[in-house]
Structure 1
Amino acid sequence: MSALSLIAPIFGIVLIGWVASVAGLLSDRVSDGLSEYVFSIAVPALIITTLTRPGLSGEVNPTFWVSYFGGAAIAWTISSLIARRREGIERKGAVLHGFAASQSNTIFVGVPMILQAYGEDGAFPLFMLLAVHLPIMMAAATFLVEVGSDRPLLERLGGLVAVLARNPIVIALAIGLTLRLVGIAPAGLAKTLIDGFAGTASVCALIALGAGLKRYRLAHDLPGALTISGLKLVVHPLAVWLLAFHVFTMPPAYAGVAVLFAASPVGINSYLLAIRYGAEKGVIAASVLASTLLAIVTSIGWLMVLGRA
């Protein structure tokens, strides 16, 4: 399968979602509802059905985590340092710039792209990385933003744990891993229902992403958005590629999953965090849009580098 034939359906569906939203066929209310469905039901079902699938096996070496999060730390640091040199951006804003440059849009882009590129070989490392990606990245960003806050550290960490404990993705990963450890797989009606929801995850996620892009604007801070996008789409995956393929040793599918995970565009969680802290909302919203558009090209490049073309 060529890289273009793999990428075209993914971003083609995103384009259809955007066109439908601009044309008024999908209202903002429908777009929000579809996003909530994907995040709360469809992707959790996909996670559970994948993790409990017979024959799915694998073992994650610590170097897999070091490669991915080492690359994320490099992109985060560079982005924060660049932001601090720009006029008007304080420490909190610089942290958010770093978070945006290293937080991947895994649910809406990463999962569909990686499963298409690596199939069964990539499923186990993908969901193992997904299991720790959100908690680690959100914990790091929250801690760094609030390090100068008057609130006690334990109170801040407790609030973060409470948020993650209610997150449908985290809950689904916990359920799937528990069922896998005890050797139980959904059967009968339960399996039919879970598989039905799981089958809608990719298309609905991509439509929701496309429809949501209408809300973002590039005009707010195009240079800043392009800087964050370049770090996210090039520097982050490049650092992971160097670590996974040239510093450490691991199965090629594991290394490839880590690179494509890093090569996903800026995650929407970075925009939500910017809203929460009331800083850098415009540039991070613009980076979500810019990186998603640029990912059409950069994803093809990374798939060629990985030999998936």
Structure 2
Amino acid sequence: MHNLVLLIVCFLAGVLLRHAGRLPGTTSQVLNGVIIHVSLPAVTLLHVHNLRLSGDVLVMAAMPWLHFGLAALFFLFLGRVLRLRRSVVGALLLTGGLGNTSFVGLPMIEAFYGSEALVHGIIVDQAGSFMVLSTLGITVAGMYAGERPGVGTIARRIVTFPPFLALAAALVLIPVEYPGWLTVLLARLADTLAPLALLSVGFQLHAGHVGGNLRNLAAGLGFKLVLAPIFFLFLYGGVLGLRGLSVEVTLFEAAMPPMVTAGIIAQEHDIEPRLASLMVAVGIVLSFVSLPAWAFVFDRFF
């Protein structure tokens, strides 16, 4: 419970600091830079070191890819039925198809499942969400903005991303025993992830303009926060009959709100920026209610 309280306090602190004007407008960019270059690599190096590769890894990594494919089918169909603008479909696909499995996901996993469960969230995030964002996400954004990023550009973005480099290093170092001082150092740096991430998310919160976007917002968040988790609960827990902490954490990641980075990409490509901003902001706020509910459901199911 104290971890959840910490997340809420940090989130509200970010919101209040933004409204108070005590910090510069670029604060969230600085915080995100620290998270990406320091906190997240430290978490990866610390927890992936104890990972034992098995079939569970494939199950965890597959979820974000299946999630994005499901979102494409859902929003393309919805676009035809409701006659949505092409740009609206693109914004919903990017934000509704990619979950915040890192900045919100990892702190929430630690709060509900403990630090030992972080390794499962890292696999979902790095081998799943990040790879989907860097390949399919960037490609879709380019298509809806009239661009087509090359294979070289996509590959360069992947291999130069610090958390991805940390993941590769952590996998190579699995057979190597860390010295005590390094474990302590990585643990201290990893502890900064949760407070900095939620502070950054709170600072970035933009309510935007709901008017004219309410129907699209409801459809996007209804899929992301409700329909997608139900689908994966049915697929993983029902059809495939999978059990265990790794599966439970994977389903919990499927219930995460829209990815902040996906919303930023949509805004940078001018793909319904107001709708994309609303999807991220409102989704994060609602997730403080929906995620505890899903954690309760998964705990009873498993």
Same fold flag (TM > 0.5): yes
Letter in 2 for 1:253: L
Identity of aligned residues (%): 19
Question: Given the superposition, is the C-alpha separation of residues 308 and 169 from structure 1 closer, same or farther in structure 2, using an over 3 Å criterion?
Answer: farther
Q: 1:303 aligns with which of 272, 275, 295?
A: 295
Match of 1:201 in 2: 193
Q: 1:41 aligns with which of 29, 34, 38?
A: 38
For 1:95 and 1:289, how far apart are their aligned partners in 2? 18
Letter in 2 for 1:75: A
Match of 1:138 in 2: 134
Match of 2:104 in 1: 109
Q: 2:73 aligns with which of 71, 77, 87?
A: 77
What's the offset of the Cα at 1:7? 4.1
- Indicate conservation of the 8 Å contact 2:68/2:97, yes or no: yes
TM-score (norm 1): 0.85
Alignment RMSD, CA only?
2.8
What's the offset of the Cα at 1:291? 0.5
For 2:72 and 2:96, how far apart are their aligned partners in 1? 6
For 2:225 and 2:165, how far apart are their aligned partners in 1? 29
Matches within 5 A, 1:119-268: 119=114, 122-133=117-128, 134-146=130-142, 156-180=150-174, 183-187=175-179, 189-213=181-205, 215-219=206-210, 221-268=213-260
Comparing 258-267 with 133-142, greater Cα deviation is found at 133-142
What's the offset of the Cα at 1:106? 1.6
Encode CA deviations 1:156-204: one digit per residue, 9 max, x unaligned: 1211111111212211111111111xx1244255444333211211111
For 2:299 and 2:67, how far apart are their aligned partners in 1? 20
For 1:201 and 1:166, how far apart are their aligned partners in 2? 20
For 2:117 and 2:180, how far apart are their aligned partners in 1? 27
- Indicate conservation of the 8 Å contact 1:117/1:308, yes or no: no
- Indicate conservation of the 8 Å contact 1:266/1:292, yes or no: yes
Letter in 2 for 1:203: P
3-state secondary structure, aligned to 1:206:
helix
Question: Given the superposition, is the C-alpha separation of residues 202 and 93 from structure 1 closer, same or farther in structure 2, using an over 3 Å criterion?
Answer: same
Comparing 135-144 with 100-109, greater Cα deviation is found at 135-144
What's the offset of the Cα at 1:286? 0.7
TM-score (norm 2): 0.87
Letter in 1 for 2:275: V
- Indicate conservation of the 8 Å contact 2:90/2:144, yes or no: no
For 1:30 and 1:130, how far apart are their aligned partners in 2? 24
- Indicate conservation of the 8 Å contact 1:76/1:97, yes or no: no
What's the offset of the Cα at 1:147? 5.6
For 2:29 and 2:234, how far apart are their aligned partners in 1? 38
Match of 1:25 in 2: 22
For 2:156 and 2:294, how far apart are their aligned partners in 1? 36
Letter in 1 for 2:169: I
What's the offset of the Cα at 1:30? 2.5
- Indicate conservation of the 8 Å contact 2:63/2:124, yes or no: no
- Indicate conservation of the 8 Å contact 1:75/1:98, yes or no: yes
What's the offset of the Cα at 1:265? 0.7
Match of 1:118 in 2: 113
Match of 1:50 in 2: 47
For 2:116 and 2:55, how far apart are their aligned partners in 1? 13
Encode CA deviations 1:257-286: one digit per residue, 9 max, x unaligned: 111101111101211221332211110111
Q: How many residues align?
A: 298
Q: 2:10 aligns with which of 10, 13, 20?
A: 13
What's the offset of the Cα at 1:299? 0.9
Encode CA deviations 1:76-116: one digit per residue, 9 max, x unaligned: 321233235555622x6523321211211122110011123
